[in-house]
Amino acid sequence: MDPDLEHHLARIPESDNRVLGVIVNEQTTPPRIVTVFFDRRRTIP
């Protein structure tokens, strides 16, 4: 796992409350989005 990468999760109501995962490298200027994906295994209360 790369220590420069931050993982973020958000519930998307417009997409049946599926969880969207975003991995960002905050150490770059501007911050660089590495990947965006729907996480089928995860739920957020």
pLDDT in tens, 2-30: 899 999 999 999 998 899 999 999 999 99
Domain limits for position 28:
5-39
Verdict on whether the full-model pTM lies above 0.85: no
Closest CA relative to residue 5, chosen from 28, 23, 20: 23
Q: Is residue 18 a contact partner of residue 38, using CB atoms and an 8 Å limit?
A: yes
> Residue 45 falls within a domain, yes or no?
no
Q: Is residue 16 part of a domain?
A: yes
Q: How many helices (H) and strands (E) does the chain have?
A: 0, 3
13 lies in some domain: yes
Q: How confident is the model at residue 40 (pLDDT cuts 50, 70, 90)?
A: confident
CA atoms within 13 A on the CB side of 28: 10
Q: For the purposes of burial, counting CB atoms within 10 Å of the CB of 29, is it exposed (0-12), middle (13-18) or buried (19 or more)? A: exposed
Answer whether residue 44 is part of any domain.
no
What's the pLDDT score for residue 24?
97
